[in-house]
Chains A and B, each alone.
Chain A
Amino acid sequence: EVQLVESGGNLVQPGGSLRLSCVASGFTFSSSWMTWVRQAPGKEPEWVAIINEDGSGRNYVDSVKGRFIVSRDNAKNSLYLQMNSLTVGDTAVYYCARDRDWGDLDIWGQGTKVTVSS
């Protein structure tokens, strides 16, 4: 079964850090570009970051540049998002998704909830 399973979401104070994980199964993870997309309550999804097949290429939305780092471990079929200097504005459900081709996000996880609050 093709599947993405996120974990690591939690309640964290402003200025804190969190590391999200996403484990893939049922497809060739090591050949796939992977993305993180977040969705604040009642808002549209927001594309956050992307990483290429071997981790040598990454891109981020401006609002997280310098604070978030996307990485992967192909041996573990896992994608990660290290989030630092968190603000209230980072509160959202975070989804990992496969970017099959030019934004064609064909596989999505169920999401993990991140709440930044004092």
Chain B
Amino acid sequence: DVVMTQSPFSLPVTLGQPASISCRSSQSLAHSDGRIFLNWFQQRPGQSPRRLIYEVSKRVSGVPDRFSGSGSGTDFTLKISRVEAEDVAVYYCMQGKHWPRTFGQGTKLEIK
């Protein structure tokens, strides 16, 4: 199975400051058509996961533009330009290129 490795495990951030989460896959997530199947999800306490970004950098409608995704091949990053209180959550990357789909272990963002 493809292993998805996230870092850091815990991310304390001051309100208004940027945050960055790394995700690395053990195999390439690139399809022959050029698309890369790496998705990011946000899970607030007590809620279901919610998709934020798909195909590395495509932000879902309704997701604030302070969230952005980047990367290629096997190394990916989720960035929040200015953290707000509502961003407290666990963030997961997930690959959709290989079977079975696999998630990273999560990064817990908290306010410092």
Contacts and interface: CB of A to CB of B under 8 A. Distances in A.
Contact of B103 (A47, A100, A108, A111): A47
Interface stretch (B14-22, B46-54, B71-79, B80-88): B46-54
Interface in B33-75: 35, 37, 39, 41, 48-51, 54-55, 60
A102 B51 CA distance: 13
B103 A45 contact: yes
Contact of A105 (B31, B39, B97): B39
A106 B51 contact: yes
A109 interface: yes
Interface residues of B, number: 26
Q: Is the interface of B mostly helix, strand, loop or mixed?
A: loop
Given A44-B92, A45-B92, A59-B99, A105 B51 contact: yes
A44 B99 CA distance: 17
A10 interface: no
A66 to B, nearest CB: 15
B24 to A, nearest CB: 15
B94 interface: yes
B95 A103 contact: yes
A102 B104 contact: no
Most-contacted residue by chain B among A95, A102, A104, A108 (CB, 10 A): A102
B55 A104 contact: yes
A62 B100 CA distance: 8
Nearest to A62: B100
Contacts of B54: 100-101, 104, 106
A118 B100 CA distance: 30
B39 A104 contact: yes
B28 interface: no
B48 A110 contact: yes
Given A59-B100, A110-B48, 11 more contacts: A35-B101, A44-B104, A44-B106, A47-B102, A47-B103, A50-B101, A61-B100, A102-B97, A105-B41, A105-B94, A109-B48
14 contacts: A46-B103, A47-B100, A50-B101, A100-B54, A102-B37, A102-B96, A103-B94, A103-B101, A104-B37, A105-B39, A105-B49, A108-B48, A110-B48, A111-B48
